[in-house]
Chain A
Amino acid sequence: MHKKNTISNNQIKNLLITSVIGVGILSLPSNMASILDNDGWLAILVGGLLIVPLIFMVDRLFKMFPNKDIFQIGEEVLGRILFTILLIVIIIYTILTLAYAIRVFGEVIKGYLLDRTPIKVIIITMLLAACYLARAEIEVLGRMATMVYPILIGLIIFLVLLSIAEGDFTNILPVFNADFTLLPKGILISLFSYAGYEIILLAYTTSDNKKDALKYTLRGLFIVIGIYVITFFSTLSQLGVNQLKRRIWPTIAIANEVDLPGYFIENLDGIVLTLWVLIVYTTLGPILYTGGRALAYIFNTRSHDIFILPLIPLIYIVSIIPDNIISVYENMGIILGYMVIISAMAIPILIYLVALIKKRRRKA
């Protein structure tokens, strides 16, 4: 069997999009509206634009160390001990994110579709399925992402069509009327929705055309920002700002409450959620894969797949700690908000800065 260890830039783009978009898309419009009312889209936009310099930085980092992957670079720059400590932080973050995502996933599926299935069964089956994906190599993740990408885009187009047909676009008004001292808080929360972009740290070096990788990655990021902003506007136009704040998952609500002329379509939550399961699947897989790769580095093994299965019980236990859905969003969400900033943003920046300083010193 021929095994190729590179993926195309298009797959990197799709991998970025499908890893970032996951459970957050259901609650993001409501969270943003609670903080910034009608101007929540502004926080989504600014939060996304803050990721742009990070992507440039990742690109520069890999150009500085050609033909090395992130683990080799980290070890060379920070030394094995410090880098291992940072990786442990990243593994904890991975476990927490997965626990959060799988719990929200379980709650949504239980609430809307499988009301008599115990949430444990939903969580464990989904984790095992994600485990199968995460045990594979990066090119399999890339292929999976390319398969799910059209479904995601189709879903978004569908939501837009619904809001054109049903929504009242004057609900978007008034613009720029919110209390802008709350904008930093909004941005902080919206950053959490961009967690998962760090998959490019692993995917970037496997690109078969490294020259264009930056272009594709940025394109992917802009598609993500676009999808989030569109989702915000379609939920806002359909529900109005007060109802949007009240709902936990407004994005499903607009699919559920379609009332087009002609009797045959209504209660579309089943269809939308079925497609959403795939989107969550391609979020869980890459994050789990990241955790496995980090563990493989720490224990110095050649393959990462042996670490995936042992992570599952840990994730499951963390996911059932919160007592209820409010606690999932409040407590876990806040902890994760900080964890994202540390592990997905601060650590790559640290590696880059130290590498830059070392390189300058060597030149001098």
Chain B
Amino acid sequence: MKRFFFIIFLLPLLVGCWDKVEIEQRLFVTAIGIDLNHEKGEEKDKLTVTYQYPNISAIGKNAESGTSTFLLTANSSSVFQAGRQFMSRVPFPFHYKHLKVIILGEDILKEESLMRVVLDELNRDTKINKRVRILATDRTAKEILEAILGKEQRTEGTIYATVRDNTKTSSFTSKSLADLITDFDISGVTLVPKVSLDEEKNFVISGGAILKDYKFLDWLDANENKIINLINGNMVVDTIDVIYEGNLISYAITETTTNRNIKFNETITANIDITIEGYLQGYILDDKNTVSDNETVLSMEKTLEEEIMKVTRRTLGHLKDVKADLLGIGEHLSKFHPREWEKIEDQWDEVFADAKININVDVKMSRTGLTR
């Protein structure tokens, strides 16, 4: 009898998988595009939301033919509301846990209250990973996602594979949702990579959008973005091209170190010393040795420093014009000089525009490659 009850009680253990969901019966949303809705419709539906999800059965060893990704678009009041609207068009429920990329169209970037609503919704949700990458586009997010359609090779998305880290290029600054919100909390300004389309409708990620208080402020080009990465110590590997005595030098950066020293007087003086180490990637093949003595190396370093300073001055001017402290000076002050920071916190925009920022660039060409 005892054994009989024991077996009866074991029965519930057999039903562990009674409501399992097979992996093909889930739609893993990998990218979401958000635009402003220009069509007339219901008043609440201010957004045009585009979902991208991979065709799981077209991936893997026994892949069936068919498109590799699907796109769905709807006018909706919120990102997740759109998902519910799509339910009448797709066979399975959506899963947001593997969402990798969110693309914001230019129109929506200009609407502060809508931006706050969208970002809060994403930040509040328990399923969305807060490391999802945010991108801005000067077109509509829908166009960008449509451009990739059919060209996708990877499940998690080509755009994500490009932006997931900064180790390959520094012409943009990868930004996750968590970083974006932290930036707004600390300095109110952030930089989001810009994705655009070239003439052949291929996507290009370079440069960035400055957002200030949840609102679009200005675009930055790739060179300005490189300088900002350089100053913030985010630059990993990159090449700089400069004309030296009529010929092009390619200089590859391998390591950078940044030192900041910020002083308080009547105005703020920030001294930023940047040391760049790298090697000569390409110069010119000549009958004689082209880089034979130390003096040539030194003068090349000088030319490079001048070139970098030129772009730096332009970038700084641009940042001061739009009053956007992307250099982390405000953050540095709030951490290391909290008492002084309290006094100037409210008028930081003006203080930053008047601040003296001295940047010193020291370029070291440690190696010249295999030839002299």
On A, residues with C-beta under 8 Å from B are 111-112, 115, 170-171, 173-174, 177, 239-243, 246, 253, 256-259, 261, 263, 266-267
Contacts and interface: CB of A to CB of B under 8 A. Distances in A.
B204 interface: no
B186 A242 contact: yes
B178 A257 contact: yes
B186 A259 contact: no
Interface stretch (B143-151, B215-223, B331-339): B331-339
Contact of B129 (A240, A242, A266): A266
Given A170-B335, A240-B185, A243-B182, A112 B126 contact: yes
B186 A256 contact: no
Given A174-B336, A174-B338, A253 B186 contact: no
Contact of B165 (A240, A242, A261, A266): A261
A243 B97 contact: no
Contacts of B365: none
Given A111-B126, A170-B335, A261-B165, A266 B131 contact: yes
A243 B129 contact: no
Contacts of B127: 115
14 contacts: A111-B126, A112-B126, A173-B335, A173-B336, A174-B336, A177-B338, A240-B185, A241-B185, A242-B182, A243-B182, A256-B129, A257-B129, A257-B130, A267-B98
B262 to A, nearest CB: 14
Contacts of B129: 256-257, 266-267
A259 B131 contact: yes
Contacts of B78: none
Nearest to B120: A246
Contact of B97 (A111, A177, A257, A267): A267
Nearest to B133: A259
Interface residues of B, number: 21
Contact of B130 (A171, A174, A253): A253
A263 B160 CA distance: 12
A252 B182 CA distance: 17
A171 B335 CA distance: 7
Contacts of B185: 240-243
Contacts of B178: 239, 243, 257
B181 interface: yes
A259 B130 CA distance: 10
B181 A243 contact: yes
Interface in B124-146: 126-127, 129-131
B176 interface: yes
Interface string B333-347: 011101100000000
Contacts of A257: 129-131, 178
B162 to A, nearest CB: 14
Contacts of B181: 243
B165 A239 contact: no
Given A174-B334, A242-B182, A267-B97, 14 more contacts: A112-B126, A173-B336, A174-B335, A177-B338, A239-B178, A240-B182, A242-B185, A242-B186, A243-B178, A253-B130, A257-B129, A259-B131, A261-B165, A267-B98
